[in-house]
Each structure stands twice: as structure tokens, then as C-alpha cells.
A and B are shown apart, each in its own frame.
Chain A
Amino acid sequence: MESCNSNCCVQCDAEVVAIVDKCGRTECNLIPILHQLQRSMGYVSNEAMEKVAAELGISVAQVHGTATFYSLIYTKPHGKNVIRLCDSPPCHLQGSGAIRDAITKAIGIEPGETTSDGNFTFETVSCMGLCGVAPAIMINDDVYGNLTVDAIPSILEKYFACCCKEGC
């Protein structure tokens, strides 16, 4: 994991240009560009969308339309750790409702919210293809399946502490 040194976010435009150069300056690379931007910036800001539009020669409304269509592209800042809980029928039948309550109890927020310290964003998502281990969640890129209510606190525990070298 990279450090969250604030100096790395000042040059939004330069970052966009670098990513557009890397992905290719054509409209059909819009989605990879948005993904890369999110990886690098954490989310796709309005400012970044305008710069992407200018670089690709398309309208900012089109960039915004694409970014907002996909639930995995964020156009607003979100928590450092994103917890995604599946609420599709297989997970639901296996008790995802109780898992949701357990997560809310552990971190104090409902789905759709971000903790005030910016550490967690909690969302419900549609099927992640993990029905075999339902109920399931993903935290960032990590998968947790066959969940029980009791397992939640220990899973979340390691995400509470900051793991970057600066210890922020």
C-alpha cells in the first residue's frame, strides 16, 4: 500500500495527462482512464473529469455520464477502506441482513455512509459472483465468505489500524 502523503494529490491535471498518455488519448479508453485515475487519486473528482474531457476532446457531461453509470467508479471522496456487502438473493437467504447489522454495529454507519474519520465506506452491492460462499463481503480487494456475525469484528479489526509507513 502506498503512503497517503498529501503532496501526491496537488497536481490533478498532470496526473490526468500522465494517465491519458499511458492509456491512449481516445474516447474508447475512457473507462480504463477512469479506473487508473481512481487507483491513483482514490476517486474521480469533477476537476479530473473536466481534464479528461479536455484531453479526449469529448464533453464533460459524457465523462460524468460514464463515471456515474458504474457503481465501482466513485465521483465523491470515500473512505480509505470500502466494505461491499452483497445483498443479492443468495447472500440475502444466507443471512446478509444480520451481517449488515453486525458491520453497522462495529463501525457505526449504515450502508451508503462513510465514517467521520474517513476510514470506512460501507455499501451494499449486487452479486459479486461469490454465491458459493454466501453471505460474502469484499473489503477493498479482499474477499470474505461464509460469514457469521461473530466473525465480523475480527475481520474489521485489521482495517482499523493504519498500515501505511507514516502511520497516519
Chain B
Amino acid sequence: MANVNIKINGQDLCVDEGLTVLQAAQQAGIGIPTLCYHADLALDGVCRVCSVEVKGQRALCASCVYPVSEGMEVLTHSPKVRNARKVIVELMLANHPQDCLICARNQNCELQAMARELGVQDVRFTGDRKDIPTDSSSTSVVRDPDKCILCGRCVRTCQDIQSVGALHFSGRGWDTEIVAGLGGDLADAVCVSCGQCINRCPTGALKGNDPSAKIWDAIYDPAKHVIVQTAPAVRASIGEEFGMEPGSRVTRKMVTALRMLGFDKVFDTDFTADLTIMEEGSELIQRVTKGGVLPQITSCSPGWINFIEYYYPELLPHLSSCKSPQQMFGTLTKTYYAEKMGIDPKDIVSVSIMPCVAKKFECDRPEMYSSGYKDVDYVLTTREAAAMMKEAGIDLPSLEDGEYDAPFGITTGAGAIFGNTGGVMEAALRTAYELITGEALDDVNITAVRGTDGIREATIQVGALPVKAAVAHGLATAREVLEGIKSGRYKDYAFIEIMCCPGGCIGGGGQPQPTNEEIRKKRIEGIYAEDGAMELRKSHENPAIKAIYEEFLGEPLSHKSHDLLHTTYTPRSQRTVKSEKPTKVQID
């Protein structure tokens, strides 16, 4: 690409001609504040906070969308620019509730940080408030439109990354709001509950539906036996909430912290990730040998399940019937574990810590009561779990390591990599290879399915059998794969992994904010490092898995497994409006 010569704040720069002024400034180490801009999203240029002076232009230009050109002279922090930015932020604050002290995003809010950065210490304008009620109808995402600054990042996220479009602008001028679906409750809209909108919201307008008050009650109720499971992805991200680098592995410190919080047992979802591999792998072998529906698609990502139920119900037979590791865990807690420990399952409160807000929806599904009780009672996101730790005065980084409790604490690296896009595929291949060929894998790192490309396709030689596999993450790419299945593009594929969120669970809607490609890659590295450090790296070698089959389940796909570990899916309609019988009113 050709270069152009530009001047930013008097400094001569030679930059790629395709860059925006914002990118060129960033390369030169000059920070320009942004709000509606997000590295994961298409450019919009609506908030104007990134305005700069460009010589020869009458008005200030939004640097996030303004391309560099030969001879351009830019001032990023002139008095005119600084004054304009301040006014823009003051105008936003004039309509903003300014209840920072009691906001979920306090100290992690981009608007708050910007006001501080720009030195806004006084709001000279008196603005109106819309006083729109908070929408907590969804079990996953809570919307507080009063805190919305209309940057549209959630709209672009939902449309462009997830191809769902649950959120959109409505009305115009002062009446503009972000609404869900037809303007009603989020729970009534076609929303897959993934929470990617939360991850990209700059303010407290979007957050998870937090059950921590009920969990505190359970912990302090002596009659309750409160157990907690921790998802694979959480261990490489919860440290960020305590100021650690993305990807920092804090698995054992987290165990200590959860014990300090007062959970009676601390277990690892990796255990049921291993169990998922046994069940899902056996299901795949059965489908291949007995002529079932192929390709088989993974079923552990609940946002993805919602997506296929809404948009491609005709492809539901492709889904593995396996429950997600979270739900397998919940069921076993209130059956196998309760039996083994002699605890009445009604006294068990089963909590999970997930990188995900769709898991909150999943645990409420009517299909998820196979123990006879609600299999998983409450789902905390990574963010909410960290908030509980802080409330209890726990400083995670300074803790000693702890060990997970038996029996659900013995896990493998295969379970850990469930947190990454491609991880379920890799874990399944490690086991399938050895079970089918009877030989040990030379290298357990199956790098062909790793990486962050939207769709990755690979043929893996399993003995004499070439297995074609594909991996997709993010629902817009999932849609491409499903269209490919419909068109026959994937007809000779055996297995497809689909994760709802970019990067897989490590990029989930319950993860620490902010998110971007760099942060997600660091978390992915953290998870692979966790796998590499494990003694056991293949699910079928997990002795606790062998034990649970011997003692309780029998064998993979046994009758008992089917009752407890497998599920069914519900086709959903995108038509949510009950027939209104519209009144015809003629106006001409």
C-alpha cells in the first residue's frame, strides 16, 4: 500500500494511505478519545468525541472515519478541539443520570473515564431526562436506557457480529432510543441472550441479570449445601477484574477465593467438559457408523442453541443431543453427588460461574430439570463473581493456590480448552483418534483447528479415516456455515463446532470489559497454556470420568446418560406478535 505524508500536531509522519486519522495518530502515540468507535465494529462516526481540526476543513472532522490524504495537517488537541470535545461530553452528561457511585460500571465506564480524561468538572447545561424504566425482563441482559448515550455499538454488535439484530434505534431526534425488537421487553424480542452487546457498551446501559443477592442468601443459610462450578474460560480472565493482564491464569487462586466466599464445595466444569467429550464423541461415532444425521454440530454454547432454534429449526437434528457441560454438571450434582454424599438434593444450591450470560437463560429452560430439581440454580458471570469476591474483601491476585474438591475436581487439558474457539473440536479429536485407532496420538496439540479465523476447516486423518471438520465462532459466521449445510457445502463433513461468541467462551458476554481481538487472543493463549501444563490432556484418560461411568452412568449413551446428560431442543418462531387483527383505517 502506498504511503502519504501528513502532519499531526506539527509532527511529520509517513503513513499507509488506507488509514484513518485516528489510526495514524494512534500509531504516532497520540491518543484521541473515542466513544462510538470500537475496534471490533464497523465505523460509524456518530459521537463526535474524536473530532480533530483538519487544515482547510471548515468544521471539525470525526477522526475515526476520516481518511488520511497527502499533505494533510491535523491538530488533535488544539483549544478549539478540546473545547468542542468538552462540550460534547458535557451535553452527554447533561442527559445522563450521573449516578456513578451506584452504577455497575463505576470505575469501568468509558463515559466516566472520558469525562475525567477531558477534565470535565462542571456540566454547564441542564438537560432533560427521559426516565425510561429499566428492562430486566430478560434472564440474561438488563437494559437501562437512561444510561444509554446512543453510540450504537450494541446495535452494530448484534447486527454485524451476531447477525441477530435484536436491538435497533427507534424514533428520531430527542425521542431516539435503542429498543429491542418492536420496542417492547427484551424477553419478547428475538434475542439469543449472548450478551455481546454488554461487552461493547461503553456505559452501564447494558449489564447482566445479576443473581448474587440470592447466592449470598444461600451461602449464609446453614440448611443449604452450596456448590459452585467454574467454567474453563473464567480461569484465564477473572484476573482482569483485579487489574491483572488478560490471559493471566488464576485457576487455583480462584478456587481459594470461592472457598473464602463460603461455597461448601468448589468444583470444575472442566470435569463435565470431559464427560461431554465422552458422550458427544460416542454420539458422533454412532452417527457415523449407524448412519445418523451428519455433520453433527456441537451443543455446548447456549446462545448458539437459541440462534439455531430461532433461525434454523429445520437443522436442529444436526445438533448433538448432549447438554452443555454446565447443565450436565448441575444434573450430576443433584443426582450422583447427592447420592454419594447422602445429601437431599433439595438442599443443594448449584451455582455456576460462567463467561456467559446465555447460561442464565439456559439454566432456566424447562428442559433443564432432569434431576427432578432445577439442575443449576444460579449462574454468575465472571464479572459478577469478581464483584462478590471484592465485596467479601478478597484480593484474588494475592491469594495462595487452592485445590478443587473431589470428585468433580479431577479434570484434563481437553476440558480446559473448551473455553477457546476450536477447543471442543480439538478435545473431541484427541479422544476420537485414540478410541477409533487404538493408538496414542503423536502430538495432542491439533493446531489445524486452532486460531481465530471466523471459519476454519480441516481434514484430520483418524487412522485410515479422513475426518472433515469445521469450526466457527460468532453467529454471523455460524449463519454462513448453516447456509453451507443447507446448500450441501458441508455434506461430507462429520463434525462442526460452533461457538456463539467471538473467540469462543473466552469472548463471552459475561467476561471482563473491555473486549477486543488482542485481549481475546491473550485469553486464548492462557487457556492453551493451562492445557499444556495439565498432566492429563485427553478426556478419556480422566480417572474420575472412568469412575463415574463405572459407579453410576454405565457407559456413554447408556439409558441413564440419556436421561441425565442429553436434552431436546425447541424450535422457536421469529414471529413474536400475537395476531392483532389490525383495524383498517383509510386515510385517503
Q: Which residue of A lies closest to B164 (CB)?
A: A59
Partner of B182, one of A39, A49, A58: A49
Instruction: Answer whether residue B568 sits at the interface, using C-beta atoms and an 8 A cutoff.
Output: no
Tell me how far the C-beta of A17 lies from the nearest C-beta in chain B, rounded to whole angstroms: 14
Instruction: Answer whether residue A106 sits at the interface, using C-beta atoms and an 8 A cutoff.
Output: no
A46-B577, A68-B170, A69-B172 as given contacts; A60 in contact with B182, CB under 8 Å: yes
A60-B574, A64-B182, A65-B170 as given contacts; A140 in contact with B584, CB under 8 Å: no
Number of B residues, CB within 8 Å of A: 31
Residue in A2, A59, A118, A164 with the greatest tally of chain B CB atoms within 10 Å: A59
Instruction: Answer whether residue A77 sits at the interface, using C-beta atoms and an 8 A cutoff.
Output: yes
Instruction: Answer whether residue B111 sits at the interface, using C-beta atoms and an 8 A cutoff.
Output: no
Instruction: Answer whether residue A41 sits at the interface, using C-beta atoms and an 8 A cutoff.
Output: yes
Partner of B586, one of A4, A51, A58, A60: A4
Number of A-B contacts (CB under 8 A): 110
Tell me how far the C-beta of B172 lies from the nearest C-beta in chain A, rounded to whole angstroms: 5
Which chain A residues border B586 with CB–CB below 8 Å?
1-2, 4, 42, 80, 164
In chain A, positions 1-39 with a C-beta closer than 8 Å to chain B are 1-2, 4, 6, 8-10, 12, 38-39
Instruction: Answer whether residue A81 sits at the interface, using C-beta atoms and an 8 A cutoff.
Output: yes
Instruction: Answer whether residue B583 sits at the interface, using C-beta atoms and an 8 A cutoff.
Output: yes
Tell me how far the C-beta of B58 lies from the nearest C-beta in chain A, rounded to whole angstroms: 26
Instruction: Answer whether residue B166 sits at the interface, using C-beta atoms and an 8 A cutoff.
Output: yes
Instruction: Answer whether residue A150 sits at the interface, using C-beta atoms and an 8 A cutoff.
Output: no
A59-B159, A69-B171, A69-B172 as given contacts; A54 in contact with B585, CB under 8 Å: no
User: Across the interface, do B582 and A43 meet the contact criterion of CB distance under 8 Å?
Assistant: yes
Which chain B residues border A92 with CB–CB below 8 Å?
none
Instruction: Answer whether residue A141 sits at the interface, using C-beta atoms and an 8 A cutoff.
Output: yes
Q: C-beta contact mask, B130-170 vs A, less than 8 Å → 1, else 0?
A: 00000000000000000000000000000100001111111
Q: Which residue of B lies closest to A61 (CB)?
A: B168
Instruction: Answer whether residue A62 sits at the interface, using C-beta atoms and an 8 A cutoff.
Output: yes
In chain A, positions 94-142 with a C-beta closer than 8 Å to chain B are 118, 140-141
User: Across the interface, do B574 and A61 meet the contact criterion of CB distance under 8 Å?
Assistant: no
A47-B577, A50-B574, A64-B183 as given contacts; A41 in contact with B584, CB under 8 Å: yes
User: Across the interface, do B580 and A45 meet the contact criterion of CB distance under 8 Å?
Assistant: yes
Which chain A residues border B577 with CB–CB below 8 Å?
45-47, 50
User: Across the interface, do A59 and B575 meet the contact criterion of CB distance under 8 Å?
Assistant: no
A9-B581, A59-B166, A65-B168 as given contacts; A81 in contact with B179, CB under 8 Å: no
Which chain B residues border A38 with CB–CB below 8 Å?
587
User: Across the interface, do B583 and A61 meet the contact criterion of CB distance under 8 Å?
Assistant: no
Alpha-carbon distance A39/B586, docked complex (angstroms): 7
Which chain A residues border B576 with CB–CB below 8 Å?
50, 60
Which chain B residues border A12 with CB–CB below 8 Å?
579-580, 582
Instruction: Answer whether residue A156 sits at the interface, using C-beta atoms and an 8 A cutoff.
Output: no
Which chain A residues border B169 with CB–CB below 8 Å?
65, 69
User: Across the interface, do B190 and A59 meet the contact criterion of CB distance under 8 Å?
Assistant: yes
Alpha-carbon distance A68/B166, docked complex (angstroms): 16
Partner of B167, one of A10, A61, A78: A61
Tell me how far the C-beta of A131 lies from the nearest C-beta in chain B, rounded to whole angstroms: 21
Which chain B residues border A77 with CB–CB below 8 Å?
582-583, 585
Seen from chain A, the residues whose Cβ lies within 8 Å of a Cβ on chain B are 1-2, 4, 6, 8-10, 12, 38-39, 41-43, 45-51, 53-54, 58-62, 64-65, 68-69, 77-82, 118, 140-141, 164
Between-chain CB contacts (< 8 Å), 24 pairs: A1-B588, A4-B586, A8-B584, A9-B582, A12-B579, A38-B587, A39-B587, A39-B588, A42-B582, A42-B584, A46-B182, A46-B577, A47-B580, A49-B182, A50-B577, A59-B166, A60-B576, A61-B189, A64-B168, A68-B170, A69-B172, A78-B585, A80-B587, A164-B586
Given contacts A46-B580, A59-B190, A61-B189, 16 further A-B contacts (CB under 8 A): A1-B586, A6-B584, A9-B584, A39-B588, A41-B582, A41-B584, A42-B583, A50-B574, A60-B189, A60-B576, A62-B168, A64-B181, A64-B183, A69-B170, A69-B172, A118-B585
